[in-house]
Amino acid sequence: MAPSLEALPLELFEMVVVFLDFKDIACLRLASRTTEIKASQMHFVTFFHRKQVTLHARRLDDLVRMTASSRLVCCLQQLTIVGPVGLDEARSEYRADEHVNLLAQAFRNIKAKSQTGSLASLSLRAAAVSSCPDTLPWSEFWVAARRTFKVTMEALYESNLSVTENLDIFSSVTGYSLEYDAFGKQAIMPAFLSCLETWEHKDPLWPAFNSPPTKMCFPASQNTNPSIIVAFTHRWPPTNAFTDLKRLTFSLSSILVDGPVTSYRNFISPNRLIKVNENQGEHTGAALEAVSQLSEIMPKLESLHLQWRNVGENAAPLTVLPMDTLNGTSRPAPLQLKECSLGGVFVRGAALTKFVKSMQPEIFKMRGVHLLTGTYAHLFKYLEDPDTPTTSYHLEDIFQKPYRLVHFNVPGTTDIEYEWYEGTGVIFGPSTLSRQNANKGKQITYRVGPQEWSDKNYLDIAFNVNGEFGAPYSESRAPIKPMEVKNDVDIGYRYL
């Protein structure tokens, strides 16, 4: 009998397949029914574990047809939804209802055909199309992020598809994020009920109302009136989309005001840093409050990672009322996370301590955090307490008041040379502290250094923190180049 590829045992056949690219495997599957079955086993199905789809009617329609007809849709585990940025006017018409309907139908197909009836991982991104202009308004990435989040959450609600392992909302990118008011349980369940509940009044001191307040909905990016009070609403329908979710990673920012970009290279100059917009502290406090409510819809959450995108003077001057003040509702049970990390947040000391206590993480990490008011004393006392759930923590390049670096009183020294303390004998320790298990209970003591713009090492730390958590790089306040936003996805289609 002549040697035949079909006659090979499945194990040997699979060893051949792993050396072929996708197109070659597809051709091999067409040779016969036997080769189709053997070539469609372990290695081939890995090509269908991940899928990236652009939030565009034509691509969403392709996703619907693929999930409706392909037997391999049952292998889909990780889906990335990308909002396109940089379309010209003729091709950028935003049809939210159509996008929601198409994506919801694709989700229904996935739920019906996958082995688990769910997705393991869902990621959201915004990316410039390959045919975009040479420069773009800075805010277009924020607009695309908001649209992508809203459409995806609505489609999840309509389809009741669940995400079981990981929800990634614009993390692992630099240069854009989701405006914080779009996030929260009332937005996730679902986003179309997340219109802000606002009251417009003349007195900025929040007096008692003589008449019923007027409710209004508007795109947050269009609101620049400092007399507008923003409050999260508490109206949401039941959904099981995130009941089993284990990991949440997301990037948030203040609501943007229309205007030119504040580049982080300009922003870290001494004169501008003195005027850091403290509105971000208020916005961060509201965002942390919203996150602390997520145990109601994500009861099995184990890992939470929040990055705050520093937009500086482009943060809207809004007053935000905490949900407890408005609603008087009982607080949900703490999440009791295995791991929690915060990066780049501008926050008040009391709000930060309250958040960490509500999360009760076993492992806690902070990097590039700016404390606007108060000190770290209460937080550190909680971390070093042997009776708290936290067993280890990592603190790196954190600041007490904007850009006054915290130095820990532990062995080692800093490379920063503070001119103010020359000849005084004062020693500043390192700006990083890690402790775990038995060492966790040691007292945390620290010294706060001054702003030292004349020292290169100090500038490097400030520049790196702003580069990681700040606005897109720009030498001026002009529109940015798409390449200045660092993404882990791209849109190379010619469909546009």
Q: pLDDT per position in the chain (496 positions), as tens?
A: 566 777 788 888 888 878 887 788 778 888 888 887 777 777 776 667 788 888 888 889 988 988 888 777 777 888 999 988 877 554 445 577 889 999 999 999 999 888 888 999 999 998 887 666 667 777 788 888 998 999 999 999 899 999 999 999 998 887 788 988 887 655 554 433 333 333 333 333 322 223 333 332 333 334 444 333 444 333 344 468 899 999 999 999 888 775 544 444 444 444 444 445 577 888 888 889 888 888 888 999 999 999 998 887 777 776 555 444 334 455 667 778 999 999 999 898 999 999 999 999 999 999 999 998 899 999 999 999 988 999 999 999 999 876 789 999 999 888 887 877 776 778 889 999 999 887 888 899 999 988 776 778 888 888 788 778 876 654 334 466 666 666 666 555 433 3
- For 246-273, give one letter per residue: b (16+ CB within 10 A) or e: bbbbbbbbbbbbeeebbbbebbbeeeeb
Which residue type is seen at 103? L
% the chain with pLDDT above 70: 71
On whether the CB atoms of residues 180 and 253 are closer than 8 A, the answer is: yes
Helix H or strand E encompassing 396: strand 392-396
Is residue 245 situated within a structural domain? Answer: yes
Which structural domain range is residue 294 located in? 67-193+233-484
Copy the structure tokens of residue 207: 């007096």
Number of compact structural domains in the chain: 1
**pLDDT number for residue 187:** 56
Is residue 224 situated within a structural domain? Answer: no
Residue written as tokens 């045992």?
9
Beta partners for residue 252, in sequence order: 178, 308
Is residue 6 situated within a structural domain? Answer: no
**pLDDT number for residue 487:** 65
Is residue 244 situated within a structural domain? Answer: yes
Q: Which residues contact 249 (CB under 8 A, 6 or more apart)?
A: 166, 167, 168, 169, 171, 172, 303, 304, 305
SS3 of residue 363 by DSSP:
strand
Beta partners for residue 321, in sequence order: 231
